[in-house]
Amino acid sequence: MKNYLHPEEAAAKVAAAIDNGVSEASSNETENAQAGTEQVNNPQSCGHSTSEYSGQEQATVAASAADTTSIEVRRQEIRLALKAHEEVQLADFLEAGFLFGDMPKTMQRGETKKNVTELRKSLERTKRFFRPIELTAARDFIEAGLGSVQRLDGSIVTLDDPDVDLIYVRPDGKQRSCAYAKLFTMKEFKGKEREYDVRVKLCEIPAEELPEYVREIQTASVWDEKTKRQVTVETFTEPSGLTMMDACINESKMSARGAYKLIFLHEGYKKALYDESLVNGKLHPSFHADQSMLERAKRNYMALKVAFRNSPDYFKNSAAVDALIEVRAHEVNDPNGVAESFLEFLQAMQTEDWCEMAMVKTPAEKKTKFLELFNTHKAKMSEDAAYAGVVEERVKAARREYNESFAYAPKKKSKRSKPSNEEIYFGGKKQ
C-alpha cells in the first residue's frame, strides 16, 4: 500500500475492479476519479477554455486536479483492500484522509493513561503492534441503529455529513491508536510513522452483533473495576442501587464495597456483577432496589455526611457502615428503629468521641469502637431522660453546621480541557 499507481492507471484499475464486482464503491466516487483524470488530460473539461489560462495557470489547474484524483484513488484502493479483508498500514489510511470516530461511551471505554503509556513504550520498543486496529464504517454503524458516532472534537456524525464515508469507529484498538498518536506527537518521532508497522483492518463481525462483540472485548480483565462500573452505570440508566452507589463513590470517595453495603445493608458485593451485567445486557439482580430502599439509602447517606462533616476520611472505610449492619442484624423486633438510633448517635458524637476513634487504626478496630460508644450512648438514653434532649440538640447543631459549610464551600474552578493527543494527531473536526 505504500507505492501508489499513477492516477490514470489507478483510476482504470478501480473502474475495472468495480466492473468485476470486487468493489462496492459508490458510482459517485468512481465518477470523481474519472473526472479528475479527465481534468488532467483535458483542462477544457473543467468548464473553461484553454485560452482563459496562461500556461502556468493551466499547469496549476492540472496539478490540482491530479492531486484530487490521486487522493480519491488512494481512498478507493484502501476501501477495496479493507473489503477484501486485507490489512492496511495506518499511515496510508490516515494519509488518504480517513478519520477516526468514537462509539457511544456505553459501548466503548475511554483510554487510561497507564495503558496508553505502556502501549506507547511497547510500540517505541518493537516498532509494531502485533494486532491490527479493527474498524467499522461510521455509516454502517449508524444505519444499524447502534447509536451515535462522535468525531474526536465531540461533534456528532450524521449520514448527511460530507465526510461520513471517511469516518470509522474502532470496536477494538482505541487504546492502541491513542498510543500511536501519543508517540508521533512527540517531537523526536514526528514524521517517522512509516518506520513502524501499525495496521488497520475491517472488523469481520456483522454490525448488528457489534454490541455483544464489544462488550466481550471491553469486559476482559484489562478493564479495571472503576471502568467497568462507569460503563455499567452509563449502560443501565434506570434508578437502581447502582446509580446510588455511583453517587456515593463520586461525591464522598467511598469504596464500591462500602457504598453497596450502605444501600443494601448486607454483604454481597462482587466485582463480577459488572461483567455479568454488561455481557448479558441486563442489570444484575443484586443491583436492583425499590423506591423505599433508595429512600432509606439516601437518609442513611445524608446522616453519614453530617456525622463525617469534619472527618471525611471515614467515608474511605466501611467501619461505620459495618457497625450499622451489625446493630441492625442483632435487633429482631425493630431493626429500622435501632438503625436510626445508631445514625443519630453518629451525628451527635462529640470531640472527645472522635478523639477516642482516632486512637484506633484498622477498620475492624474502628467498627468495634463505634459499637462500644453506641452501647454507652444507649445506656445513657435509658438511664437519663434528659439525655435524649441533649442528643436531639446536638444533632440539630451538627446538621446546621453541615448545611452552613456546604452553602459556603468554595466552588471549584472549572479547568479548560485541553485537546487530547488523539485529537491533535488524528484531527477529526467536522468538515
Among 84, 111, 145, where does a domain finish?
A: 84
- pLDDT score at 410: 55
Distance CA 264, CA 276 (A): 19
47, 165: one domain = no
In a domain, 415, yes or no: no
| Contacts of 142 by beta carbon, 8 Å cutoff, 6+ apart | 148, 149, 157, 158, 159, 164
Among 34, 51, 84, where does a domain finish?
A: 84
In a domain, 416, yes or no: no
74, 125: one domain = no
Average pLDDT over residues 23-52: 45
Task: Kindly report the pTM of this predicted structure.
Answer: 0.53
- pLDDT score at 44: 45
pLDDT tens sequence across 159-173: 999 999 999 999 888
In a domain, 412, yes or no: no
Average pLDDT over residues 190-202: 94
Among 84, 109, 137, where does a domain finish?
A: 84
Distance CA 381, CA 397 (A): 19
- pLDDT score at 147: 83
43, 146: one domain = no
56, 127: one domain = no
In a domain, 250, yes or no: yes
One-letter amino acid of 281: G
Higher pLDDT, 36 or 369: 369
36, 75: one domain = yes
- pLDDT score at 3: 46
Whether the Cβ atoms of residue 183 and residue 124 lie closer than 8 Å to each other: yes
In a domain, 272, yes or no: yes
368, 394: one domain = yes
Number of domains in the chain: 3
74, 130: one domain = no
194, 275: one domain = no
Whether the Cβ atoms of residue 82 and residue 88 lie closer than 8 Å to each other: yes
53, 128: one domain = no
Distance CA 171, CA 222 (A): 15
In a domain, 377, yes or no: yes
In a domain, 2, yes or no: no
Higher pLDDT, 303 or 42: 303
Domain that holds residue 79: 7-84
In a domain, 115, yes or no: yes
335, 272: one domain = yes
Instruction: Share the mean pLDDT of the chain.
Output: 80
384, 260: one domain = yes
- pLDDT score at 407: 58
Average pLDDT over residues 377-381: 92
39, 120: one domain = no
